[in-house]
Amino acid sequence: MASNSTSTLFFLLLLPVLFVCVTPQQQKHSTQINLDSSISPRSPRSSWSSPSGYFQFGFYHEGSGFKIGIWLVGTEQNTVVWTANRDDPPVTSNAILSLDQNGRLLLRTEHGQKKIIANTTYSATSASMLDSGNFVLYNRSHIIWESFKYPTDTILGDQVLSAGQELFSSQSDTDHSTGRFHLKMQLDGNLVLYPINTDDSSIDAYWDSETFGNGFKFHLYLNRTGLLAIMNTSSSEMVSRLSLGGGGGSSSSENNQKVALYRATLDSDGIFRLYSHGVDDKNNGKVKEAVMVWKALKNPCEVQGFCGINSFCTIFDEQPNCLCIPGSDYVDFNQKTLGCLRNYTDEVCVDGKENTTFYGMEKMDNILWGDIDYMEASMSMEECKNSCLEDCNCGAALFAQDDYGRDLCKKQKLPLRYVRRDFGNSISTTAFIKVSKMNETKSINGTNSVPTTELVPPRRTQQVITSKKVLIQILVTVIVFVIFSFVSLAISGIYIFKIRILRYKRLGEINGQMGLTGDEELIALRVFSYNELKKATDGFKEELGKGSFGAVYKGVLNRGRKLIAVKRLEKLIEEGEREFRAEMRAIGRTNHKNLVRLMGYCAEDSKRLLVYEYMSNGSLADLLFKQARRPDWDERVRIAIDVAKGINYLHEECKTPIIHYDVKPQNILMDDFWTAKISDFGLAKLLMPDQTRTFTGIRGTRGYLAPEWHKNTPISVKADVYSYGIVLLEIICCRRNLEMHVSNIDEIVLSNWIYKCFAGRELYKLVVGEDVDKKTLEKMVKVGLWCIQDEPVLRPSMKSVVLMLEGITDIASPPCPTSTSM
Ligand SMILES: *[C@@H]1O[C@H](CO)[C@@H](O)[C@H](O)[C@H]1NC(C)=O
Ligand SMILES: *[C@@H]1O[C@H](CO)[C@@H](O)[C@H](O)[C@H]1NC(C)=O
Ligand SMILES: *[C@@H]1O[C@H](CO)[C@@H](O)[C@H](O)[C@H]1NC(C)=O
Ligand SMILES: *[C@@H]1O[C@H](CO)[C@@H](O)[C@H](O)[C@H]1NC(C)=O
Ligand SMILES: *[C@@H]1O[C@H](CO)[C@@H](O)[C@H](O)[C@H]1NC(C)=O
Ligand SMILES: *[C@@H]1O[C@H](CO)[C@@H](O)[C@H](O)[C@H]1NC(C)=O
Ligand SMILES: *[C@@H]1O[C@H](CO)[C@@H](O)[C@H](O)[C@H]1NC(C)=O
Ligand SMILES: CC(=O)N[C@H]1CO[C@H](CO)[C@@H](O)[C@@H]1O
């Protein structure tokens, strides 16, 4: 090859034209890399591949430039498993990496700087990217350098993390420089996770393997089939097994030994996880997306240091979220994990005693923090609060009862570290945070005086949490199990109970009782004949209303003892009777106190009729918009939660999730006891068998339609969340989303007006003249505004909505719903 400067010039002049798009070239079976070889992002070859093609070593895209590393080929976003000099800035496409004539692996940047990639005492004679993911340099047949010896955030199959070595998490999925957490294989034999920049003392640790070598060194080892274990280095015996291992596909390993590639990564969220990547032998050189096999922690909020100082971690919409403690503001609103700082200055302290006229104590429940307190004493809750208030050193106090039921008060200086909110904790704690009273009195009028979050619309921070899907899965599991396990137990209990009853009662007979016992009725659908229904409705005489599917008539059964509502379906697409019956059975299987129950149906010739229980108190639309007097506030809150629960049931608890597609006050009916029940669910399928969206004219109602209906994006359960959000805002204000007869032009579109009031901290304007709990009002408004975000992914799930409305999870401040477009 010519001298390097000439070759650089050559590339500079010619290659931008030839290689506009930089794609790592896959060169297979190029096992040995000889001296005087080089790669560059601009050259045809920007990486060296392993014989199998699964791993590549070379330049990969990062930020606006390139870094040198090793990655798994084939995943959507190449999974980087090693990075050279990870904290150096990315280089430009003019950089060249070479194994030069002197046997050194050198990076030459655009400005002619040279950087040693592999620091070796001897010079190399060749190099190789091995199938294990290890990049090695040889001096003849001796390995003189290997990337496996210098792990970054990942170890691969057959790799070891020796005593004294550490893994450091990456900043994010797309930025592989050193992040915020490290995993240390300690000399004492314990494998421990800590946040960085701490003393690595026991209070900083948030996970450990609980292995102790008693003078012997241990190491962490991942074998090729997914066994992750702590090994005794001197005896090579296993001390503790972290993952099951043995390979997920041991059955098929006979004919195909390499079923999957494993990697254990300290992810950017601070959780150490083991992943497997399926290997597709037919499509050689491609691996599949990661599947998580094991993780060190389940609750991402238990990762100490996930949230910075003076902020606490809480799960919001199934993601960890950092909120400031009262009396503090985010250091940087766009990077909430950086923590918060007090936003007031201390008053003069005389003899260690605070002038209490300046301060107040803000109370929070179920808060935990990790730092060691400076004072611990037995005192009552009130004493605890006052003791901290008067003490200049005290920033916060934690009150709890110890194992023996004694009152215990712990006082803490600021800043607070490792704070989280934990509802699953068996001991309930009460925290008192010292806040400045000086600015508290300014808004007596309506909104809250000390909001814990900001009002500026947050921009989506760029920090992408590693394997979001996996995280969501963890959180869903945790939340579902902790909170809904009882509910589902109860539901399955009821089912079993009902199935038992079924055996004894004649199928299809409908119990004539109504009201509370109505919920206990059989879940058996009765098939009616057309004549029967004609008689029950007295020839379809009394029309109750007209819905998007057809008219609804009032009727009676059981010799006048049971009122029913008969819906005569029109505009039906042609559908066989069998499909119709299957659909009816699916709807009939639903059983929830906030859903209108289907009692039976009729499918004769082309006639399709549905029989529902009769709802005596009309619809929510009547209640909200037509009554002279507004239903009182508590009633509205209850209705809002009821409706959310009903939709959540459709989305999460049915065998196959049901998207309603048309949530609106007209479809929410009130029974004898003013319980809100959702109607018309499950019918969309009858008009739209393949769940496509070719029926825009038919489904949904203007005003409640999520913006994605107008775009070419798929409709998901989040469309219902949007509609619910609008309904929620309507419930709050007892008016329609669109109302022309208002005094002020700003108020025409309710959702816009509510956001304006929210941003201006003037929520009292929404409920003038009403006795309304301010906290609940703010909560409802926030949930409503989250639900109507343009961006479906920003909207919470209905499960989160229920949890937020019930006050079980915290609510971050919503951004402007339509910040992106329009
Ligand atoms: C190379 O390694 C030696 C010892 O192994 C060390 O003293 C030296 O600082 C290293 N050089 C670089 C550039 O990392
Ligand atoms: C490596 O190669 C150098 C010559 O380049 C030689 O002097 C040295 O002995 C070799 N070392 C090993 C371990 O083979
Ligand atoms: C580790 O191995 C050494 C040497 O075989 C043995 O003496 C020691 O008991 C082992 N330690 C543990 C904790 O297994
Ligand atoms: C990995 O460990 C498991 C469990 O001990 C074992 O069954 C499997 O054979 C090991 N795999 C390899 C490649 O050594
Ligand atoms: C507290 O501060 C107020 C206002 O500066 C002052 O009037 C009062 O005397 C102070 N109280 C004590 C106990 O120092
Ligand atoms: C508080 O409300 C009253 C009327 O309700 C109004 O006159 C007053 O200006 C409001 N004060 C503030 C600070 O908003
Ligand atoms: C400090 O922050 C709180 C909310 O965290 C806010 O209510 C208060 O007005 C702020 N005070 C100052 C002086 O900015
Ligand atoms: C009464 C009082 O202390 N007001 C303060 C409220 O906060 C602002 C902004 O920090 C201060 O300038 C005021 O003095």
User: Can you tell me the distance from the alpha carbon of 179 to that of 87, in angstroms, rounded to the nearest whole number?
Assistant: 10
Nearest CA to ligand 8 atom 3: 438
Which residue in 125, 127, 141 sits closest to 48, CA to CA?
127
Exposure string over 214-252, b if 16+ CB within 10 A, otherwise e: eeebbbbbbbbbbbbbbbbbeeeeebbebbebebbbeee
User: Can you tell me the distance from the alpha carbon of 763 to that of 283, in angstroms, rounded to the nearest whole number?
Assistant: 59
Ligand 5 in reach of 357 Cβ (< 6 A) = yes
Determine if the peptide bond prior to 415 is cis (ω within 30°).
yes
User: Can you tell me the distance from the alpha carbon of 645 to that of 144, in angstroms, rounded to the nearest whole number?
Assistant: 63
Do the Cβ atoms of 35 and 126 come closer than 8 Å?
Answer: yes
User: Can you tell me the distance from the alpha carbon of 645 to that of 805, in angstroms, rounded to the nearest whole number?
Assistant: 10
Report DSSP letters for 617-667, one per residue.
T-BHHIIIII-SSPPPHHHHHHHHHHHHHHHHIIIIISSS----S---GGG
Minimum-distance ligand to the CA of 362?
7
As a whole number of Å, the CA-based R_g of the chain is 32
Residues with CB under 6 A from ligand 4: 223-225, 227, 245-246
Atom of ligand 8 nearest to the CA of 344: 10
Atom of ligand 2 nearest to the CA of 123: 5
Atom of ligand 4 nearest to the CA of 225: 11
Ligand 3 in reach of 234 Cβ (< 6 A) = yes
Contacts with 114 (C-beta within 8 Å, 6 or more apart), sequence order: 106, 107, 108
User: Can you tell me the distance from the alpha carbon of 621 to that of 2, in angstroms, rounded to the nearest whole number?
Assistant: 81
Nearest CA to ligand 2 atom 12: 139
Do the Cβ atoms of 158 and 223 come closer than 8 Å?
Answer: yes
Ligand 1 in reach of 372 Cβ (< 6 A) = no
User: What is each CA distance from 279 to 55, 72, 267, in whole angstroms?
Assistant: 12, 11, 22
Ligand 2 in reach of 122 Cβ (< 6 A) = yes
User: What is each CA distance from 527 to 175, 606, 613, in whole angstroms?
Assistant: 61, 15, 15
662 is catalytic: yes
Helix (H) or strand (E) holding 756: helix 750-759
Tokens 């500079």 sit on residue: 12
Nearest CA to ligand 3 atom 13: 213
**For the segment 473-518, what is each residue's pLDDT rounded down to a tens digit?**
655 555 545 454 554 545 555 554 444 443 333 333 333 333 333 3
Provide the token pair at 483: 């909170």
Ligand 5 geometric centre to CA of 355 (Å):
6
Do the Cβ atoms of 606 and 689 come closer than 8 Å?
Answer: no
Nearest CA to ligand 2 atom 14: 139
3-state secondary structure 12-64: HHHHHHHCCCCCCCCCCCCCEEECCEEECCCCCCCEEECCCCCEEEEEEEECC
Ligand 2 geometric centre to CA of 118 (Å):
16
Ligand 1 in reach of 235 Cβ (< 6 A) = no
Ligand 5 in reach of 355 Cβ (< 6 A) = yes
**For the segment 715-771, what is each residue's pLDDT rounded down to a tens digit?**
888 999 999 999 999 999 999 888 777 777 778 889 989 999 998 889 999 998 888
Report DSSP letters for 712-751, one per residue.
TS---HHHHHHHHHHHHHHHHHTS-SB-S--SSGGGSBHH
Atom of ligand 2 nearest to the CA of 144: 13
Best substitution site from 347, 357, 390 to test ligand 5's pocket, by max atoms within 8 Å of Cβ?
357
- Which residues of the chain have a pLDDT value below 70? 1-30, 245-258, 281-285, 403, 424-427, 439-523, 548, 571-576, 684-701, 710-712, 819-822
Nearest CA to ligand 1 atom 12: 119
Alpha carbon distance, N-terminus to C-terminus of the chain: 57
Domain 159-298 has CATH 3.40.50.720: no
Best substitution site from 114, 117, 119 to test ligand 1's pocket, by max atoms within 8 Å of Cβ?
119
Which residue in 150, 162, 17 sits closest to 82, CA to CA?
150
Ligand 3 in reach of 235 Cβ (< 6 A) = yes
User: Can you tell me the distance from the alpha carbon of 176 to that of 755, in angstroms, rounded to the nearest whole number?
Assistant: 38
Ligand 4 geometric centre to CA of 163 (Å):
22
Ligand 1 geometric centre to CA of 196 (Å):
24
User: What does the pLDDT read at residue 400?
Assistant: 87
Instruction: Please tell me the total number of residues recorded for the chain in this structure.
Output: 822
Ligand 3 geometric centre to CA of 234 (Å):
7
Asked whether residue 288 is marked as a ligand-binding residue, the answer is: no
Nearest CA to ligand 3 atom 4: 235
Best substitution site from 35, 121, 122 to test ligand 2's pocket, by max atoms within 8 Å of Cβ?
122
Amino acid at 629: R
Contacts with 531 (C-beta within 8 Å, 6 or more apart), sequence order: none
Contacts with 169 (C-beta within 8 Å, 6 or more apart), sequence order: 153, 178, 179, 180, 181, 182, 266, 267, 268, 269, 270
Ligand 7 geometric centre to CA of 796 (Å):
27
Task: Please tell me the pTM assigned to this model.
Answer: 0.58
Ligand 2 geometric centre to CA of 138 (Å):
10
Nearest CA to ligand 5 atom 7: 357
Ligand 5 in reach of 351 Cβ (< 6 A) = no
Ligand 1 in reach of 116 Cβ (< 6 A) = yes
**For the segment 9-21, what is each residue's pLDDT rounded down to a tens digit?**
444 433 333 333 3
Q: Tell me, which fold does domain 618-822 have in CATH?
A: Transferase(Phosphotransferase); domain 1 (1.10.510)
Domain ranges across the chain: 24-150, 159-298, 301-451, 459-522, 618-822
CATH class of 24-150: mainly beta
DSSP class of residue 786 equals H
User: Can you tell me the distance from the alpha carbon of 802 to that of 811, in angstroms, rounded to the nearest whole number?
Assistant: 12
Do the Cβ atoms of 612 and 644 come closer than 8 Å?
Answer: no
DSSP class of residue 386 equals H
Ligand 7 geometric centre to CA of 779 (Å):
19
Task: Give the Cα-Cα-Cα angle 364, 367, 371 (nearest 5 degrees).
Answer: 125
Which residue in 531, 558, 684 sits closest to 614, CA to CA?
558
User: Can you tell me the distance from the alpha carbon of 191 to that of 523, in angstroms, rounded to the nearest whole number?
Assistant: 54
Select which of 391, 662, 720, 810 is catalytic. 662
CA dihedral 277→280→281→282, nearest 10 degrees, is -170
Question: Would you say the CATH fold of 618-822 matches that of 159-298?
Answer: no
